[in-house]
């Protein structure tokens, strides 16, 4: 016997068939009063309220349904309901928080981060700093490797009297970027944060190093000179300044810096090496030779024989007639086993009859008389003077080395006429906006550092290249995939699979361009210039987007969210897409299917479901594109081929493309005569098109043999 509730539901269905929505609403209201736990009826009631334009009433019913689903662990259904509520009333900021929490519970961290991002944007616009920081900290906990989040958090900290916390975040980010040699990005960050920390010496030194790494030594030295005014004997600063002077070929200043450092630590061979190199590069070869002769045994003991050889070979070219250079180089070649070069030097000496060589050369004293010394045993060397004041090496027992350093100027004052120290004005003199700074635009690919051009090209691996290109394609990196497939065709022109993939990429790029058109007008102003500062809720700082490429649109953590998708549950994205489609949230459904299709086994189903979503929106062109892409997939199965052919026929019918619809149905019929109502579809379309049974049968027989979905 039918209950009162059953009668009310039956009445509601009758009223809906008669399109009497107000009466159906009354029926469902009574059902909900009788059974408040009937979430299906509540959801239907909410949908009817939406159809009637009563969004407030619909919101209340949806909220009850969403809470029921969430409390009972049906997170995907709850997410779909909250998404619908968000569409009804976007001002309800609590929904963003609930969506973020539910996505996090479901394991959809990419979606959760997107919702938290919306919250941060809202809090920033409305001056809700505490909530903004709390949300950013939550995002950092979810993805500690997301540098964009940490940069934004550092900026909010620094701007709101939490400078120490902001600096700690910034330093972590700078360290991560330094490990990747991302100096363009580092320079951008210094520009952004130096106004917050104008007197921070560590940041200024870091900025100078970033300039050094970019080859801009003049600006780097300017910063360091300014820092030296406060700490003129800081060895770290002096080393960096000396390096900058050397790289800018300011030899007098470089030499004075190195001499000052050696007066502080005469045993520092790195600085000694820099000083000798400075003297050679500046043409003071005699001074370099004197320095080398005094310290060559110490360099040798420190396993720097190759360094010595390089220095003496240079001096041989510059001081061709110098006996000391030839004899020492002769000794070095004996130690390195380069007999051919040794003979060259001996030959050169024999060609000079006026010069008399000693019976015992420096190589004899350096090598000693035991062959085992040459084999790599420890050698203790010391400089001594003979009666003629000629330097030679002798083997001694004491391992200590007597180091005597000639008096060097310890001051760092400039010689008369030398360049004056330039004061650094961080805000004005750095001039980050000069034309040459366009090179500093960031293209954040924490994995895309430029390859060393000096490395020889290695043989191409076809399979590895194909796998890499497929990865790019699955990640939506169409430009990278296109380039790699074309590179493969350059050395493997018969690779038909590459040509098919290029066709697929062209179709995908056309689809992306079509869907992106509405946003381009909105973001055109953003593309004109880049500003690292945040203002008015402009939560758009993304290292990935700091590029001079005008076609790159402004995004908010988009790249990081996309990267997180790879770690998310593909099945959850797939099921969420289905839930969105059932709710009529077609754009959200398409977005979820695009994430889920990265799983190869779901690619075809996701393409078909995207096609159905586009069809539901009456976007027949994109729907057809999705179906065709699915039919071309290497993962296509027979039953999916039948389903797609049938759906394609339905699509053509809706678009009144009856000839193409008939062809699609006939394709299905040729594979399975009993598939759904395809036989009836073919008959009806033949009649509609005025085809005689004989003509139709002829067409069918021919198509059965030759028509394919590809």
CB 325 within 8 A of CB 315: yes
By DSSP bridging, strand 391-395 and strand 381-385 are antiparallel
The gap from C-alpha 463 to its chain's centroid, in whole angstroms, comes to: 24
pLDDT > 90? residue 403: no
Instruction: State mean pLDDT over 192-215.
Output: 92
pLDDT at residue 301 in the model: 93
From 8-22, 142-156, 198-212, 493-507, the region with the lowest mean pLDDT: 493-507
pLDDT at residue 443 in the model: 33
pLDDT > 50? residue 392: no
Give the confidence band of 352 by pLDDT, cuts at 50, 70, 90.
low
What are the structural domain ranges in the chain?
4-177, 461-518, 562-706
pLDDT > 70? residue 267: yes
pLDDT > 90? residue 551: no
pLDDT > 70? residue 358: no
Give the confidence band of 624 by pLDDT, cuts at 50, 70, 90.
very high
* Rounded Cα–Cα distance for residues 476 and 175 (Å): 29
CB 208 within 8 A of CB 199: no
Instruction: State mean pLDDT over 233-254.
Output: 94
pLDDT > 70? residue 376: no
pLDDT (tens digit per residue) in 61-118: 999 999 999 999 999 999 999 999 999 999 899 999 999 999 999 989 989 999 999 9
User: Per-residue DSSP letters for 365-399?
Assistant: HHH-S-HHHHTT----EEEEE-TT--EEEEE-S--
pLDDT at residue 464 in the model: 67
pLDDT at residue 344 in the model: 63
pLDDT at residue 346 in the model: 59
Q: Residue 501: phi, psi to the nearest 5?
A: -65, -35
pLDDT (tens digit per residue) in 503-521: 888 877 776 555 444 433 3
Q: Was domain 562-706 assigned CATH 1.25.40.10? A: yes
DSSP 568: S
CB 43 within 8 A of CB 69: no
* Rounded Cα–Cα distance for residues 628 and 622 (Å): 10
The gap from C-alpha 210 to its chain's centroid, in whole angstroms, comes to: 19
Number of H helices, E strands in the chain: 35, 2
Burial of 420 (0-12, 13-18, 19+ CB in 10 A): exposed
* Rounded Cα–Cα distance for residues 46 and 28 (Å): 10
pLDDT at residue 398 in the model: 38
Among 624, 614, 672, 618, residue whose Cα is nearest residue 644: 624
Give the confidence band of 553 by pLDDT, cuts at 50, 70, 90.
very low
Phi-psi region for residue 376, left (φ > 0), alpha (ψ -120 to 50) or beta? left
pLDDT > 80? residue 224: yes
pLDDT at residue 540 in the model: 38
Q: In 10 A of CB 326, how many CB atoms? A: 24
pLDDT > 90? residue 243: yes
pLDDT > 70? residue 435: no
Structure tokens at 676: 């759904």
Instruction: State mean pLDDT over 107-132.
Output: 93
pLDDT at residue 4 in the model: 86
pLDDT at residue 444 in the model: 32
Average pLDDT, whole number, for the chain?
A: 76
Question: Higher-confidence residue: 405 or 675?
Answer: 675
Same fold, 4-177 and 562-706: yes
Task: Give start and end residues of each alpha helix (H) in 384-453.
Answer: 426-429
pLDDT at residue 568 in the model: 65
pLDDT > 90? residue 563: no
Q: What angle do CA 108, 150, 105 make, to 5 degrees?
A: 20
Among 638, 643, 635, 640, residue whose Cα is nearest residue 664: 643
Percent of the chain with pLDDT over 70: 70
- Tell me which H or E stretch contains 703: helix 693-706
pLDDT at residue 461 in the model: 73
Question: Higher-confidence residue: 241 or 584?
Answer: 241
Instruction: State mean pLDDT over 366-395.
Output: 36
pLDDT at residue 465 in the model: 75
Question: Higher-confidence residue: 416 or 268?
Answer: 268
Q: Assign a CATH topology to domain 4-177.
A: 1.25.40
pLDDT at residue 418 in the model: 39
């Amino acid at each position: 016997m039918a209950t009162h509730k059953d009668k009310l539901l039956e009445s509601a269905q009758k009223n809906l068939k008669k399109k009497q929505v107000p009466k159906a609403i009354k029926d469902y209201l009574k059902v909900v009063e009788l059974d408040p736990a009937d979430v299906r009826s509540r959801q239907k009631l909410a949908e009817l309220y939406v159809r009637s334009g009563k969004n407030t009433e619909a919101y209340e019913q949806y909220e009850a349904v969403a809470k029921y689903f969430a409390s009972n662990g049906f997170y995907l259904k709850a997410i779909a309901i909250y998404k619908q509520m968000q569409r009804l009333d976007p001002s309800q900021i609590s929904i963003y928080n609930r969506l973020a929490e539910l996505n996090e519970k479901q394991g959809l961290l990419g979606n959760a981060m997107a919702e938290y991002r919306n919250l941060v944007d809202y809090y920033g616009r409305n001056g809700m700093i505490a909530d903004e920081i709390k949300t950013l900290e939550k995002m950092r906990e979810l993805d500690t490797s997301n540098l964009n989040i940490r940069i934004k958090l550092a900026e909010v900290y620094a701007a709101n009297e939490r400078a120490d916390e902001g600096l700690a975040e910034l330093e972590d980010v700078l360290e991560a970027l330094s490990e990747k040699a991302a100096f363009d990005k580092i320079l951008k960050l210094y520009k952004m944060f130096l106004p917050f920390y104008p007197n921070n010496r560590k940041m200024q030194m870091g900025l100078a190093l970033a300039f050094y790494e970019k080859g801009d030594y003049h600006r780097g030295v300017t910063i360091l000179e300014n820092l030296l005014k406060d700490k003129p004997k800081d060895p770290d600063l002096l080393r960096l300044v000396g390096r900058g002077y050397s790289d800018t070929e300011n030899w007098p200043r470089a030499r004075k810096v190195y001499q000052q450092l050696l007066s502080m630590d005469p045993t520092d061979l790195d600085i000694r090496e820099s000083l000798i190199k400075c003297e050679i590069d500046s043409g003071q070869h005699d001074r370099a030779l004197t320095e080398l002769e005094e310290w060559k045994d110490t360099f040798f003991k420190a396993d720097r024989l190759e360094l010595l050889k390089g220095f003496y070979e240079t001096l041989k070219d510059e001081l061709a007639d110098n006996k000391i250079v030839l004899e020492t180089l002769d000794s070095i070649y004996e130690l390195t086993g380069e007999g051919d070069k040794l003979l060259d030097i001996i030959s050169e000496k024999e060609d000079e009859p006026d010069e008399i060589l000693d019976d015992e050369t420096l190589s004899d004293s350096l090598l000693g008389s035991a062959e085992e010394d040459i084999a790599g045993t420890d050698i203790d060397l010391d400089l001594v003077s003979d009666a003629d004041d000629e330097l030679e090496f002798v083997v001694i027992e004491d391992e200590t080395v007597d180091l005597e350093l000639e008096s060097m100027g310890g001051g760092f004052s400039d010689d008369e006429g030398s360049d004056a120290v330039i004061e650094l004005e961080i805000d004005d003199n750095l001039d980050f906006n000069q034309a040459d700074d366009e090179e500093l635009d960031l293209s954040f690919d924490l994995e895309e550092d430029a390859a060393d051009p000096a490395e020889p090209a290695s043989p191409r691996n076809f399979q590895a290249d194909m796998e890499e290109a497929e990865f790019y394609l699955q990640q939506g990196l169409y430009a990278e995939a296109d380039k790699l497939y074309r590179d493969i065709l350059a050395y493997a022109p018969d690779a038909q699979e590459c040509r098919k993939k290029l066709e697929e990429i062209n179709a995908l790029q056309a689809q992306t361009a079509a869907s992106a058109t509405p946003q381009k007008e909105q973001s055109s102003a953003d593309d004109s210039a880049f500003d690292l500062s945040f203002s008015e809720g402009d939560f758009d700082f993304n290292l990935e987007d700091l590029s001079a490429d005008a076609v790159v649109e402004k995004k908010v953590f988009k790249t990081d969210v996309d990267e997180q998708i790879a770690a998310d549950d593909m099945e959850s994205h797939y099921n969420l897409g289905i839930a969105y489609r059932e709710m009529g949230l077609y754009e959200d459904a398409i977005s979820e299917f695009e994430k889920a299709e990265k799983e190869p086994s779901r690619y075809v189903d996701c393409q078909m479901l995207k096609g159905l979503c586009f069809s539901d929106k009456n976007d027949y062109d994109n729907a057809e594109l999705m179906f065709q892409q699915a039919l071309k997939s290497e993962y296509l199965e027979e039953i999916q081929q039948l389903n797609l052919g049938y759906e394609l026929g339905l699509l053509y019918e809706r678009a009144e493309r009856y000839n193409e619809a008939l062809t699609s149905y006939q394709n299905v019929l040729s594979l399975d005569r009993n598939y759904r109502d395809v036989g009836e579809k073919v008959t009806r379309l033949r009649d509609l098109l005025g085809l005689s049974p004989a003509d139709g049968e002829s067409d069918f027989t021919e198509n059965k043999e030759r028509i394919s979905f590809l």
